[in-house]
Amino acid sequence: MKYVVFNHTCIPTVTAVLIKYILKENLYIKLIFPYSHLQAEYYGTVSVGTPPQDFKVIFDTGSSDFWVPSSQCSFSNLACWTHNYYKSGKSSTYVANGTKIGIEYGSGEMFGFLSQDKLIIDGLVVRDQTFAEAVNEPGLTFLMAKMDGIMGMGFPSISSSGALPPVYNMLRQNLLPNKLFSFYLSRSPEEKTGGEMILGGWNDDVFDPSTLSFIPLTEKSYWQFAFDGGTPRVVDSWCQIGCQAMADTGTSLIVGPQDIIDEINEVIGARIGDDGMARVSA
């Protein structure tokens, strides 16, 4: 019996989060080597359409929708015009949908409409993938971002569009021999890549199995799990009745209830900036 490793290392105190599955013996692994920007954005390249149109996307376990900027974006949408955008008229496999959609994130939001086309991830071809074309991305979040769009890796239950997330579409089309994916996010500026995402397996060269523990999911919405607060540095009041957390590869922030976060900030010596964000020297 083997187990899947869902490796999430963007938070220093967390070595890994593991979701347990039984694997097939013939393990087939797809590799993507994302780029990293300031160790806050981890993104890789996917392609949409025929011929392929390339986009840099964040593989986000905290959401379930896939979207890229559209060639039909508004003239005032600077975030669209300064990034790669999808041209449906240039793709022979494009299928119109037109359903309007809006998605709000922890920072940033997008508005657009649904379309369908072929998705290619490192040579893996996913047919009939429904995704959103963004026509409006207000604010500075997506304007300043290095990535073009977002590929949600969460469960279908939290999809704003109601469309099947790409990973589930891969499973429906029997493209992955094992129902799993894994992440390695590098914290070393000396590494040439920001890390890797593996579809259908994991890379045991990037973690020490002796440091890992298995954690069951508590919800089939986010990649959510229970924890008890963790280390001797944790104050006694944390998680007395149990805490829930989720592994979110789409953000570099640690977010939680105000009273608990205030205690954490005090313990680690974080300082609150003018933008309301708490920061600690590393």
Active site residues: 60, 248
CB 129, CB 67: distance < 8 Å: no
CA angle 219, 158, 2 (to 5 degrees): 45
Q: What is the DSSP letter of 222?
A: T
Count CA atoms within 13 Å of residue 134 on its CB side: 29
From CA 148, how far away is CA 53, in angstroms rounded?
12
Backbone angles phi, psi at 81, to 5 degrees: -70, -15
- Tokens 């069951």 label which residue? 216
144 Cβ contact list (under 8 Å, min separation 6): none
From CA 58, how far away is CA 151, in angstroms rounded?
6
